[in-house]
């Protein structure tokens, strides 16, 4: 299949480190389409959609923002913390979307398991079904996210 | 059959290669805008080869315009007036420009291509900005995710700045980043020590510059910064001062406290510094030293959780809650805030509720 210039640019951008250190694809040898397909299939097996995931991620971030960088209780089993840094993160897809450098860290109180995501991750998950390539610092594992944010 | 396929592939590949060659040659001729003259403030003129963006063209001429995003059009900081030659406003600039700025020809330097002669205006203070070559002489762990970097100036050997200002640190291309980028960091050092710049940097997971500083930058390495920039500074009134900061927001406040000590400033001052837990507080000993050295200074560390009350004397709760409980005569105070947008917005709301007027609240937001 022929690739549009936008698609070629996106592929290159996801592999490059122009937007984030180490790039969005990490050491994953698969194409980003394969990564998306595999992750969405995994989500379906778990009984969720990327939209549901993104909405819950956004909801948790919103609940944690008033904590001003400290841990806020989300429910009986989770606490979350939002940290902000200077600047913004740009979505690599060809639209002008940029997000505050805001990192949400969620901790399961019982297991002490932690996961974290940026506002850009939430957008990439919801809008593009993209969780990042294996080995990328920005990768969020669908199974881990589901386990941590949905299970009380 | 096989031969026909091979020939077809060869023909298609040749056509592709030919088109690519035409593109390269065309780009050389058509995207080469030749020498362009850039006139600054009707006083200074230089000639640059067209084709690059205005921000990097000016940087090549050692004229540094602040930019926190490395020229990607995402921070909106590199504003300057382009009076002639910029072409129409781009959609990438629109979100960052107010109506009055558009009417007075303000543009984002990183988005304006140098294609012809330009006439631009740059604030005088930015023309005083210099590039400094430094040597990293010390890296101190302040908390699990904050470090203090001591940079000794090599060339030029000294810097003048106003406490509260910031510099841009150049991150060279390295294993995890293919491009050079600049990031802005407030100066935390004692301004009396003109041969040194100290920066307090908090690790941003996946951040290009902070990853470089935390994982690659070593004592002895050469570092380039440019600056100083910014108008976050202590006023010269006698009003009581309230500082509110969190995390690496400590940096400009520390610099201001050094300055207050150096100049014998007698203003009544209180500093609320917020962290999650006691072990995330930093430079507490130095702040206690300031309490002894400054005539009327009080440091109030605030932590959200204090499991062991014997650890140190801290207020407990959010930093804004501590301000709300503790701050007296807020209506007389001038407030200086540095931290995340959320913290600053919450602090402004609390200060206003306590009676501090808008024009007495100054801040350096992490945006």
Whole-angstrom CA distances from A4 to A8, A11, A29 are 6, 11, 21
Closest partner CB to A68 (pick from B75, B183, B346): B346
Per-residue pLDDT, B255: 98
Pair type for strands B79-84 and B146-155: unpaired
To the nearest whole Å, the CA of B263 is away from the closest chain A CA by 31
Successive 10-residue mean pLDDT values, chain A, 152 residues: 80 84 90 96 96 96 90 90 83 84 91 91 96 91 91 63
ipTM over 0.85: no
Determine the residue of chain A that is closest to B212 in CA distance.
A21
DSSP B89-137: PPTTTGGG--HHHHHTTEEETTT-B--S-EEEE--HHHHT-EEEEEEEE
Q: Write out pLDDT tens, residues B61-83.
A: 989 888 867 677 777 889 999 99
Residue B248's closest chain A neighbor by CA? A85
Least confidently predicted of B89-98, B222-231, B346-355: B89-98
Per-residue CA distances from A127 to A3, A57, A99, B82, B263 (Å): 20, 13, 14, 37, 55
Could you tell me which residue, B226 or B31, shows the higher pLDDT?
A: B226
**pLDDT value at residue B22:** 63
The shortest CB-CB distance from A21 to any of B74, B206, B343 is to B206
Q: Pick B177's closest partner by Cβ from A21, A84, A87.
A: A21
Whole-model pTM? 0.81
Q: Does residue B339 contact residue B246 with C-beta atoms inside 8 Å?
A: yes
- pLDDT grade, residue B116 (50/70/90)? very high
Question: SS3 of A102, please?
Answer: strand
User: How long is chain A?
Assistant: 152
DSSP-derived pairing of the beta strands B297-303 and B269-275: parallel
How far apart are alpha carbons B174 and B181 in whole angstroms?
Answer: 11
Whether A105 contacts chain B with CB within 8 A: no
Task: Give SS3 for B333.
Answer: coil
* Residue that has been written with the tokens 């020498």 in this structure: B35
Take residue A58 and report the two structure tokens written for it: 């956004």
Distance CA A70, CA A80 (A): 8
Residue of A nearest to B182 (CA): A87
Give the list of residues 6+ apart from residue B209 with CB closer than 8 angstroms, or none. Answer: B169, B171, B181, B183
According to DSSP, residue B6 is labeled H
- Report the relative pairing of strands B35-40 and B118-121 from DSSP bridges: parallel
Q: In the numeric block, which tokens belong to residue B307?
A: 């499991």
Picking from B205, B244, B282, B323 by the largest number of A CB atoms within 10 A of its own CB, the best residue to mutate is B205
């Amino acid at each position: 299949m022929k690739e549009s210039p936008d698609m070629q640019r996106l592929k290159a951008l996801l592999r490059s480190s122009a937007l984030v250190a180490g790039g969005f694809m990490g050491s994953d040898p698969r194409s980003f389409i394969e990564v998306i397909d595999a992750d969405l299939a995994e989500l379906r097996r778990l009984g969720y959609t990327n939209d549901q995931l993104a909405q819950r991620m956004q909801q948790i971030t919103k609940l944690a923002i008033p904590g001003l960088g400290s841990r806020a209780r989300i429910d009986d089993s989770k606490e979350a913390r939002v940290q902000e840094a200077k600047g913004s993160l740009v979505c690599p897809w060809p639209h002008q979307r940029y997000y505050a450098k805001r990192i949400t860290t969620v901790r399961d109180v019982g297991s002490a398991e932690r996961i974290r995501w940026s506002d850009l991750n939430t957008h990439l998950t919801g809008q593009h079904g993209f969780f990042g390539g294996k080995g990328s610092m920005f990768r969020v594992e669908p199974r881990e996210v589901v386990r941590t944010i949905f299970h009380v | 059959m096989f031969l026909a396929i091979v020939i077809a592939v060869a023909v298609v590949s040749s056509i592709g290669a030919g088109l690519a060659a035409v593109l390269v040659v065309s780009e050389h001729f058509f995207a080469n805008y030749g020498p362009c003259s850039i006139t600054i403030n009707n006083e200074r003129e230089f000639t640059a080869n067209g084709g690059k963006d205005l921000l990097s063209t000016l940087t090549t001429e050692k004229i540094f315009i602040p930019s926190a995003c490395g020229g990607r059009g995402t921070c909106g900081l590199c504003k300057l007036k382009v009076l002639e030659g910029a072409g129409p406003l781009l959609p990438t600039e629109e979100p960052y420009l107010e109506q009055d700025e558009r009417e007075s020809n303000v543009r984002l330097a990183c988005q304006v291509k140098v294609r012809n002669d330009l006439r631009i205006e740059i604030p005088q203070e930015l023309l005083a900005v210099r590039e400094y070559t430094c040597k990293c002489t010390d890296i101190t762990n302040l908390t699990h995710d904050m470090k203090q970097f001591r940079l000794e100036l090599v060339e030029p050997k000294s810097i003048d700045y106003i406490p509260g200002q910031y510099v841009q640190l150049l991150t060279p291309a390295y294993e995890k980043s293919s491009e050079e980028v600049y990031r802005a960091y407030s100066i935390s050092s004692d301004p009396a020590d003109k041969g040194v710049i100290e920066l307090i940097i908090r690790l941003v997971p996946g951040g290009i510059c902070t990853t470089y500083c935390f994982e690659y930058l070593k004592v002895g390495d050469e570092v380039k910064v440019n600056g100083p920039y910014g108008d976050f500074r202590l006023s010269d009134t006698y009003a009581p001062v309230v500082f509110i900061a969190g995390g690496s927001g400590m940096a400009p406040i520390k610099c201001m406290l050094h300055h207050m000590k150096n100049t014998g400033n007698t203003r009544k001052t209180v500093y609320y510094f917020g962290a999650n837990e006691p072990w995330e507080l930093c430079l507490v000993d130095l702040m206690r030293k300031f309490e002894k050295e400054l005539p009327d200074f009080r440091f109030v560390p605030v932590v959200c959780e204090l499991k062991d009350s014997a650890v140190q004397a801290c207020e407990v709760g959010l930093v804004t809650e501590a301000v709300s409980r503790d701050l007296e005569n807020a209506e007389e105070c001038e407030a200086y805030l540095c931290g995340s947008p959320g913290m600053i917005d919450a602090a402004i709301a609390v200060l206003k509720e306590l009676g501090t007027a808008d024009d007495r609240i100054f801040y350096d937001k992490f945006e």
